[in-house]
């Protein structure tokens, strides 16, 4: 029997890759997106990639009750995968109320509608940011949670709302997925990350240096207590991450038991590791300048990955070179279309 899934934020970076993975896994997927940080043309690309004649999609906001009610009335959803949210840490510091409204308000609107329509399974986009500045590396899911930005606060609060809802009503089954650093693009070059402004994150910034749109990478500090002094992160290929959502959904469908898992590789890479890997991918040495540390940055974030493997059978397999090569392929092809 084909299961139908509502995918909010399905035109976005991770959402679009997850759409492809869900369709390939046999799910029927309906997208809701307000295109506030994505383009409607992504839908055409998704049709091309999956071979679907029609990508079922609605333009609107998850905050819009009446709109969402119409979407829920038009389909018999078995589950929801919820991406639609704001995600820029710096912006959240300037607009904390907007972040709570969209990220937390979007989630509660969705939960109310799901409850009313008896849809009880939800996969939720959380983030390693809920670990704050962790004491233990690699970070187990049991590590204490905290927040260092309004964005992180919204993710932590959302996790807590889901935990309290599940405790109050065991019919709920939530898959809470804590992403580490998603990078790369679909190997076809058809979809990828497409920031319109100067990127805040490392990989899209390096990509613009490689493309000649920015002169050099600013390395935010080389005096951390790490092997080469630069910040270390757990970069995970977006296609592996997308598969993590399929595994999470499969598990919710099979058991109706919730889970909270890290999605990462368990491997830490420094800023210089990343710069070198991207230089290999694009075939030129990319210039950099070491600057001061960025406010709020922590030295090392790296996932403990055992729980995702044990509970979901999830393992991120793609290498740093594959992440950089797919990003560069996307920048040279799809992103220019």
324 binds ligand UDP (CB under 6 A): no
Q: Strands, DSSP E only, in the chain?
A: 4-8, 28-33, 57-59, 79-82, 121-127, 173-179, 181-183, 217-220, 232-233, 235-237, 259-263, 269-270, 288-291
Q: Nearest approach, Cβ of 282 to ligand UDP (angstroms)?
A: 17
192 binds ligand UDP (CB under 6 A): no
Among 233, 245, 247, 329, binds ligand UDP (CB under 6 A): 233
Determine contact, residues 303/265, Cβ cutoff 8 Å.
yes
249: left (phi over 0), alpha (psi -120 to 50) or beta: alpha
**Residue with smaller CB distance to ligand UDP, 144 or 296:** 296
| Binding letters toward ligand UDP, positions 239-278, x by CB under 6 A | --------------------------------x-------
**Residue with smaller CB distance to ligand UDP, 175 or 231:** 231
50 binds ligand UDP (CB under 6 A): no
Backbone angles phi, psi at 165, to 5 degrees: -65, -40
Among 50, 109, 148, 201, binds ligand UDP (CB under 6 A): 201
Known catalytic residue: 151? yes
| Binding letters toward ligand UDP, positions 114-153, x by CB under 6 A | ----------------------------------------
Q: Which of residues 149-188 bind ligand UDP (CB under 6 A)?
A: 181
**Angle, helices 105-116/150-168, rounded to nearest 10 degrees:** 20
226 binds ligand UDP (CB under 6 A): no
| DSSP string across 196-254 | SS--SSHHHHHHHHHTTSSS-EEEE-S-SSSTTSS-EE-EEEHHHHHHHHHHHHHHHHH
* Tally of helices (H runs) and strands (E runs) in the chain: 12, 13
Residues ≥6 apart with Cβ < 8 Å to 95: 150
Q: Nearest approach, Cβ of 174 to ligand UDP (angstroms)?
A: 24
202 binds ligand UDP (CB under 6 A): yes
Q: Which of 13, 27, 151, 205 is catalytic?
A: 151
**Residue with smaller CB distance to ligand UDP, 86 or 233:** 233
**Residue with smaller CB distance to ligand UDP, 57 or 275:** 275
Among 170, 294, 295, 321, binds ligand UDP (CB under 6 A): 294
From CA 148, how far away is CA 288, in angstroms rounded? 27
Q: Nearest approach, Cβ of 289 to ligand UDP (angstroms)?
A: 10
3-state secondary structure of 191: coil
Backbone angles phi, psi at 217, to 5 degrees: -90, 135
From CA 159, how far away is CA 129, in angstroms rounded? 12
Chain contacts with ligand UDP (rule: CB under 6 A): 181, 200-202, 205, 217-220, 231, 233, 271, 294, 297, 301
Q: Hey, which residues are catalytic here?
A: 151
């Amino acid at each position: 029997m084909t299961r139908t899934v509502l995918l909010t934020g399905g035109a976005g970076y991770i959402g679009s890759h997850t759409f492809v993975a869900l369709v390939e896994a046999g799910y029927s997927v309906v997208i809701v997106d307000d295109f506030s940080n994505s383009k409607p043309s992504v839908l055409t690309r998704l049709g091309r990639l999956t071979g679907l004649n029609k990508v079922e999609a609605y333009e609107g906001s998850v905050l819009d009750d009446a709109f969402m009610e119409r979407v829920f009335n038009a389909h018999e959803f078995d589950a929801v995968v919820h991406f639609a949210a704001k995600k820029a840490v710096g912006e959240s510091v300037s607009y904390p109320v907007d972040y709570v409204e969209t990220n937390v308000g979007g989630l509660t609107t969705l939960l109310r509608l799901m409850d009313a329509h008896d849809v009880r399974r939800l996969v939720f986009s959380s983030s390693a940011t809920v670990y704050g500045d962790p004491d233990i590396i690699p970070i187990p899911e049991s590590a204490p949670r905290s927040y260092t930005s309004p964005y992180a606060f919204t993710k932590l609060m959302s996790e807590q709302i889901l935990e309290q809802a599940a405790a109050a009503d065991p019919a709920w089954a939530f898959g809470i997925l804590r992403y580490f650093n998603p990078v790369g693009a679909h190997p076809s070059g058809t979809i990828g990350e497409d920031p319109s402004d100067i990127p805040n994150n490392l990989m899209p910034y390096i990509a613009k240096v490689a493309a000649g749109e920015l002169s050099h990478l600013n390395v935010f500090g080389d005096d951390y207590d790490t092997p080469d002094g630069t910040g270390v992160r757990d970069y995970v290929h977006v296609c592996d991450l997308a598969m993590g959502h399929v595994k999470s959904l499969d598990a919710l469908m099979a058991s109706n038991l919730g889970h909270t898992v890290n999605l990462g590789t368990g491997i830490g890479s420094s800023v210089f590791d990343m710069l070198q890997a991207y230089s290999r991918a694009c075939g030129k040495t990319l210039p950099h300048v070491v600057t001061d540390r960025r406010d709020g940055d922590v030295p090392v974030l790296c996932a403990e990955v055992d729980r995702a493997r044990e509970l979901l059978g999830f393992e991120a397999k793609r290498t740093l070179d594959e992440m950089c090569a797919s990003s560069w392929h996307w920048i040279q092809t799809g992103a220019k279309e």
